[in-house]
Amino acid sequence: MRSAVLSTRLPVGIAAAVIGLLVALLSLQMGAVTATGHGSAALHACWLTARVEANWSNGVLDFTYSLQPPDPCHTVTGVSASYDQASHSLVLVVEGESPPRGTYCIQVLPPPVTGRGSIHGVDAVERVVLVLHDGATGRTCRAEARLG
C-alpha cells in the first residue's frame, strides 16, 4: 500500500494574508487586542462635586480629576484611585472633612483640588465611582456616572 503526500502551494500574498488572519484571531482570543477610548463625567457626593476626564489605550488608563468643595471650611485631605475590573469602573476614594456644626463659613468657592493618575492593566472604562469619606461626621457618600 502506498501513501500519497498532498502538497498545496499558495501564492505568497495569500499565504501572508492567511497567516495574518490567524495571528489576529489568536490575539483576539487571548485578549491581546485592547480597547481605546475616552470620556468625562460629572458627579456629586455629599458636599463634594467632581469632574473626571479619562483616556485609555493599550491597557493604560490616564485620568485627571477636579474636586470642588462648597466652601473653604470643607477640605479634601486625600485622594486614591483604583480600577474595578468587574464593573469596568474607575473608582476615586476621597477623604475629606466637613466643619463642626454651628461653624459659619464664608460662601466663596475655594480653588478646586486637582490631580492626575495612570492605572495599568485596563481593558475598558464605562463608569466613574466617587466615594467620599467625611472624617468629621463618619458619613460615607457614593455617586456613580457613566463616562460620556
**What's the pLDDT band for 13 if we cut at 50, 70, 90?**
low
What pLDDT, on the 0 to 100 scale, is given for residue 36? 85
Chain centroid to CA 144: how far? 12
The set of cell numbers assigned to 122 is 485596563
- The one-character DSSP state at 118 is E
The set of cell numbers assigned to 27 is 490575539
- Helix H or strand E segment including 98: none
Q: Within 10 Å of residue 79's Cβ, how many Cβ atoms? A: 17
What pLDDT, on the 0 to 100 scale, is given for residue 121? 92
1-5, 60-64, 94-98, 129-133: the lowest-pLDDT one: 1-5
**8 A C-beta contact, residue 46 and residue 76:** no
pTM score of the predicted model: 0.75
Q: Which of 96, 99, 63, 101 is nearest to 78 (CA)?
A: 96
